[in-house]
Amino acid sequence: MGPGGSPRGASLCRRMAREAPVYDLILLLDTTIEQERRDTILANVEDAIDRAGEIVGRHDWGNRHTVYEVRKHSEADYHLIQFRGPATLLEQLDHNLKITDGILRFRIIKLRPGTPPPPDLRPAAMAAAAVPAAPEADELA
């Protein structure tokens, strides 16, 4: 018996019944390598996730300036892949991404339930958000 008189197995069953957590994988790819190589890196990452988990979302944010230099690069090709998967997948991704040429930096972050969706940082979406909306006829009167 666990604390409070509840059977210990009950909390284990509740934990196992919960949906797998969502992870964010943020990839910063080297902009000096050919686009074909960057596409191959992304395809390999997605294939690894598909084999052991599931992709929940994918956001290509394009080339962006970094806040500070990363491996002597001031610009990177940013990608966000959201996925679910077991701990073995996280270990496999961590290992493979560390040894893959063309990846400047990556982070895998476990999201808390209720985390809002990521912003749309594509260059076209950013430009559209920067343009102020035209005033409506009611506002002009």
Where does the pLDDT of residue 20 fall: very low under 50, low under 70, confident under 90, or very high at 90 and above?
Answer: confident
The 10s digit of each residue's pLDDT in 61-83 is: 999 888 877 777 788 899 999 99
Taken in order of first residue, the domains within the chain and their CATH numbers are 19-114 (3.30.70.60)
User: Quick one: CA dihedral 40, 106, 122, 71, positive or negative?
Assistant: negative
> Can you give the pTM of this predicted structure?
0.71
- DSSP H helical ranges for 18-108: 35-52, 87-99
Q: What is the mean pLDDT of residues 6-22?
A: 61
The 10s digit of each residue's pLDDT in 79-132 is: 999 999 999 999 999 999 999 999 999 999 999 887 777 877 766 655 666 655
Buried b (16+ CB within 10 A) or exposed e, 23-39: bbbbbbbbbeeeeeebe
